[in-house]
Structure 1
Amino acid sequence: MWFRNLQIFRISDWTLSTERLNELLQKQAFREPSAMELHTTGWSSPREGGELAHVVNRQILLALRTEKKLLPASVINQVTRAKAADLEEQQGFKPGRKQMKELKEQVTDELLPRAFGIRRDTRVWIDPVNRWLVIDAASPTKADEVRSLLLKTLDITLENIELNEAPVAVMTSWLAGNEAPGGFTVDQDVELRSNTDEKAAVRYVRHPLDGVDVRQHIQSGKRTTRLAMTWNDRISFVLTDAFAIKRVTPLDIIKDAADPTAEGEAEKFDADVALMTGELAKLLDDLIEAVGGEREEA
């Protein structure tokens, strides 16, 4: 249930009712690709059998579903070559460029209905109370795909997080001083990169970061681009220089806080959503403050 990666944005003031939100999402709801389509995208229910917008304590969960058919170019080319050989035997000469193009299109049309489809859901958390919009995506490219459909579906404004201090500078200062801000601890994974043209990089995994070698890398000009941290002994994560949060892992103290009275899949799902969104909202607030706060508009 927990989001593994957080691509973080701000949203405009939220005025949509749940009913209106579901109406708008339905217009862009997911449908299976037709026999001749390679790819479809649309909104799906975050919980099996539920609404497109799942709301718990004013926190909103969405899911963008994508289905892509697997039709490798190597397979198309192999079948095309075989058909081209048959055609050459029939007409007595090799197919020209135009014939080969038409043949390839014909092969693609023949194979497409038999192609195997793979589905993938990307979850979205909207917090109208604190104006967060968080996409569970490892890459900005995938997040942009979700943002694009979200803006097409809803009349809202999304803004990137603008910070007073660059995360790379703040993380480097924490590492150099061997001291994280209150509530946070530095763990044992880090990536350091040079800001020179060579872009030299060094990574430490499950390695103490308070040694002389780490400080020497910083003194030589390398800066921290990824840093593993823990917040209040509750959530571990990796912070990146783009202020994305990766490898989010709830720790035992949170797992023990799960509602023991929840019965059935629906109640347990809602309890997990409430727990996750409540904890992540506090984490985001503390992390924003730790890196120097958001830049105020002039």
Structure 2
Amino acid sequence: MWFKNLQIYRLPTPWAIDLAKLDEQLARGEFTRCPSNQPMSRGWVSPRKDGALIYANNRQWLLALAVEQRLLPSSVINETAQERAEQITDQQGYAPGRKQMKEIKERVVEELMPRAFTKKRSSFVWIDPQNGWFIVDAGSPAKAEEVIEHLRHCLDEFPLKPLHTELSPQSAMADWLAGGDAPAGFTVDRDCELKSVAEEKAAVRYVRHPLGDEVGAEIKAHLAAGKLPTRLALTWDERISFVLTEKLEIKRLAFLDILKEAAEKTAERADEQFDADFALMTGELTRFLPQLIAALGGEKVEAEMSSAPAAAGTPPWEA
């Protein structure tokens, strides 16, 4: 159980929901197989495949959202619809219009959907209710939003917010590259991408390439020319390697061998290995995330709404 990507969100600290209540509300959106007449089904499944919708270990929670989709390529729909349209043209003496073609395609989808193959995938969520972390192992915000949307559908209240830092990742990465050094506790690795803000979006990528000396001079020249970093490979504490993006996403997350070996030493059976992996992963991430945020200038706290009274004669909804 090792996450590969981090889409990072914040919950109140602590998040005031107990395990039993969360489990009860998750049951509202439990996974069921995709019906024959529907293109997709999604819902919560057991992360440990033991029937429980929440895996809990040392006050850390793990959820899993399963998504099953029917694979019905648009090329198949269009080809079948075109064959139907040609038959109708022969019968009525003229080609179907736009409205009739739309109806033909809808009927084709209805007929083919039950015979379409299905594909199933899962997305995992780590929740740290004490420290307010909500982390989705997803390669894109869209995949994370899929999880969040379903959770909002299930929970009575879900006070989730995106994470914002005082320094944008892009400006911080530019400072690290321009200065030739990473913040304390981090080292710059060998992957970097810079893009121009101009309309042509010219990009320069360094892949598995040392970023010091001559390459460092090249990167500084690109920064001076107006290009900004969009990805930078880093290692934290010689324990976790990752790629930071300009959107504050963590990609290509890798826990170095020393950590995985430590987990393997404490486990003898498969279930114990799952426990050890999850405990070690969450323990490392609870140390890593605050240090990453500190390197980005700290977490930006939203200003509270003013509680000053409205001016006389001003309706409260216009205050």
Counterpart in 2 of 1:10? Answer: 10
2-structure distance, mates of 1:17, 1:201: 48
> Is the 2:266–2:276 Cα contact (8 Å) retained in structure 1?
no
Q: Is 1:82 matched with 2:87?
A: no
2:189 counterpart letter in structure 1:
D
Segment of structure 1 superposing worse, 197-206 or 34-43: 197-206
> Is the 1:41–1:65 Cα contact (8 Å) retained in structure 2?
yes
TM, length-normalised to structure 1: 0.94
> Is the 1:233–1:253 Cα contact (8 Å) retained in structure 2?
no
CA 1:94/1:219 → structure 2, altered by over 3 Å: closer, same or farther? closer
2-structure distance, mates of 1:255, 1:234: 10
Which residue of 169, 172, 176 maps to 1:170? 172
Segment of structure 1 superposing worse, 243-252 or 205-214: 205-214
Q: Is 1:52 matched with 2:57?
A: no
Counterpart in 2 of 1:106? Answer: 107
Counterpart in 1 of 2:206? Answer: 204
2-structure distance, mates of 1:38, 1:132: 32
Q: After superposition, give the CA deviation of every residue in 1:24-51 in whole Å (9 maximum; x if it has no partner).
A: 1110111111110001111111122241
Q: After superposition, give the CA deviation of every residue in 1:245-285 in whole Å (9 maximum; x if it has no partner).
A: 11001111111211524233222111111111111111101
Q: Is 1:237 matched with 2:247?
A: no
Q: Is 1:21 matched with 2:22?
A: yes
2:78 counterpart letter in structure 1:
N
2-structure distance, mates of 1:96, 1:172: 56
Q: Is 1:191 matched with 2:193?
A: yes
> Is the 2:194–2:228 Cα contact (8 Å) retained in structure 1?
yes
Equivalent positions of 1:60-79 (< 5 A) are 60-79=61-80
> Is the 1:54–1:62 Cα contact (8 Å) retained in structure 2?
yes
> Is the 1:64–1:122 Cα contact (8 Å) retained in structure 2?
yes
> Is the 1:163–1:293 Cα contact (8 Å) retained in structure 2?
yes
Counterpart in 2 of 1:120? Answer: 121
Q: State the 1:94 CA deviation.
A: 4.1
TM, length-normalised to structure 2: 0.88
2:265 counterpart letter in structure 1:
P
Q: After superposition, give the CA deviation of every residue in 1:190-224 in whole Å (9 maximum; x if it has no partner).
A: 01122333332211101121222122112222222
1-structure distance, mates of 2:221, 2:94: 69
Counterpart in 2 of 1:270? Answer: 275
What's the C-alpha RMSD, in Å, of the aligned pairs?
1.7
1-structure distance, mates of 2:277, 2:81: 51
The SS at the match of 2:263 is coil
The SS at the match of 1:268 is helix
The SS at the match of 1:4 is coil
Give ranges in structure 1 of 5+ residues lacking alignment. Answer: none
> Is the 2:194–2:205 Cα contact (8 Å) retained in structure 1?
yes
1-structure distance, mates of 2:123, 2:198: 36
1-structure distance, mates of 2:166, 2:100: 60
Q: State the 1:238 CA deviation.
A: 0.3
1-structure distance, mates of 2:271, 2:119: 26
2:23 counterpart letter in structure 1:
N
Percent identity between matched residues is 51
Instruction: Find runs of 4+ consecutive structure 1 residues off by over 6 angstroms.
Output: none
The SS at the match of 1:74 is helix
1-structure distance, mates of 2:153, 2:80: 39
CA 1:97/1:225 → structure 2, altered by over 3 Å: closer, same or farther? closer
> Is the 1:193–1:199 Cα contact (8 Å) retained in structure 2?
yes
2-structure distance, mates of 1:18, 1:121: 22
Aligned residues: 298
Q: State the 1:91 CA deviation.
A: 4.8
CA 1:89/1:50 → structure 2, altered by over 3 Å: closer, same or farther? same
The SS at the match of 2:230 is strand
> Is the 1:189–1:203 Cα contact (8 Å) retained in structure 2?
yes
Q: State the 1:145 CA deviation.
A: 1.7
1:204 counterpart letter in structure 2:
Y
Q: State the 1:157 CA deviation.
A: 0.6
Q: State the 1:181 CA deviation.
A: 1.4
Equivalent positions of 1:278-293 (< 5 A) are 278-293=283-298
> Is the 1:229–1:239 Cα contact (8 Å) retained in structure 2?
yes
2-structure distance, mates of 1:31, 1:171: 44
1-structure distance, mates of 2:200, 2:102: 43
2:176 counterpart letter in structure 1:
W
The SS at the match of 2:152 is helix
1-structure distance, mates of 2:96, 2:191: 57
Q: State the 1:95 CA deviation.
A: 4.2
